[in-house]
């Protein structure tokens, strides 16, 4: 990235209105003054690996549950990182691929976490070829249909997406109400964001809004400061040891260090997402 805004791609559906001022971490009681969007589907997506998608998905799902929303974290990446972060392994005799073939209800694969209101639909290696499976089935909205069924039981569904550009990513865009793109400050990340924008916009006028979020932001680095200065309205998650410890301790940042800058940043980001979901779903009703 450079310090010139003109070097960065335009963001489909984003006007900078999702940024909120600093505030307290969501507390453990159901929120009464925040919007609740029933069945809102949030995709954490990038075509670039190693940008923090799973960490974002796991922490935002936790924030949603802490705000009193029934939340499902749906892992669509065969690596199974979202379940691992919460210490949950998939069941070998219940492959995730079965739900896409309609051999098993997705509800039978859902696992509870240690946190009230937060469940996980884990991934496993059976969905490594999910793109090919979806193409063979010829069902362009299979992911969207499954998400709609699950949304009847949850207020929020967070999708942890693999870094792909194929039939699976196209189906994720059809299912999502909002796409969050973690973006470490680098020229390659800016290019990846442009690819995401094209992927989302390529499905027609009703594509979901995109919200880029600077991830692993370290303001001690000149390139990172330039990225922050170039897009001051973008939300940001700081580079922090507590985020790295999420996978080690199998806990979200808000549980490890509730008042840490990273935990507070995830909480503010979730509040912004909740407001956008309310707006999006309200307009659709």
82-100 pLDDT tens trace: 999 999 988 888 899 999 9
pLDDT given for residue 204 in this prediction: 64
Q: Residue 217 pLDDT > 80, yes or no? A: yes
Query: Tell me, what's the pLDDT at 54?
Result: 96
Q: Say how far apart CA 109 and CA 113 lie, in whole Å.
A: 13
SS3 content of the chain, % helix, strand, coil (to 5): 40, 15, 45
Single out the residue of 204, 136, 129, 217 nearest to residue 174, CA to CA. 204
- pLDDT of 20 > 50? The answer is no
For residues 55-67, give the mean pLDDT.
97
- Whether 189 has a pLDDT exceeding 80, the answer reads no
- Kindly give, in sequence order, each residue whose CB lies less than 8 Å from that of residue 67, ignoring residues fewer than 6 positions away: 26, 30, 31, 34, 270, 274
What is the pTM assigned to this prediction?
A: 0.84
CA dist 136 and 41 (Å) reads: 25
Mean pLDDT value across the chain: 85
Average pLDDT over residues 275-285: 82
37-284 CATH choice from 3.40.50.2000, 3.30.360.10, 3.60.110.10, 3.40.50.300: 3.40.50.300
Give percent above pLDDT 70 in the chain: 85
Q: Are strands 178-183 and 40-44 parallel, antiparallel or unpaired?
A: parallel
Average pLDDT score over residue span 234-256: 94
CA nearest neighbour of 57 among 147, 144, 150, 159: 159
Token output for 93:
């005799």
């Amino acid at each position: 990235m450079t310090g010139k805004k003109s070097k960065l791609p335009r963001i489909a559906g984003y006007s900078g209105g999702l940024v909120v001022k600093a505030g307290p971490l969501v507390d453990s009681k159901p929120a009464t003054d925040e919007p609740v969007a029933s069945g809102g589907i949030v995709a954490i997506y990038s075509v670039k690996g190693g940008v923090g998608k799973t960490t974002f998905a796991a922490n935002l799902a936790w924030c949603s549950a802490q705000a009193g929303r029934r939340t499902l974290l749906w892992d669509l990446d065969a690596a199974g990182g979202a379940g691992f972060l919460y210490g949950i392994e998939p069941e070998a005799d219940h492959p995730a691929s079965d739900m896409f073939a309609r051999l098993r209800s997705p509800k039978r694969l859902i696992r509870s976490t240690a946190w009230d209101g937060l469940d996980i639909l884990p991934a496993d290696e059976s969905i490594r070829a999910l793109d090919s499976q979806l193409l063979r089935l010829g069902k362009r909205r299979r992911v969207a249909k499954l998400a709609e069924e699950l949304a009847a039981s949850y207020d929020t569904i967070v999708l942890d997406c693999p870094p792909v550009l194929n039939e699976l990513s196209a189906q994720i865009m059809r299912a999502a109400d909002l796409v969050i793109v973690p973006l470490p400050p680098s020229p390659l990340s800016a290019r990846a964001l442009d690819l995401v924008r094209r992927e989302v916009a390529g499905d027609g006028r009703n594509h979901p809004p995109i919200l880029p979020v600077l991830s692993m932001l370290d303001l001690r680095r000149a390139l990172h400061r330039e990225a922050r200065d170039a897009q001051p309205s973008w939300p940001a998650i700081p580079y922090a040891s507590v985020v790295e410890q999420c996978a080690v301790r199998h806990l979200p940042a808000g549980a490890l260090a509730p008042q840490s800058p990273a935990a507070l940043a995830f909480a503010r980001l979730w509040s912004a997402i909740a407001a956008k979901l309310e707006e999006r779903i309200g307009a659709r009703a």
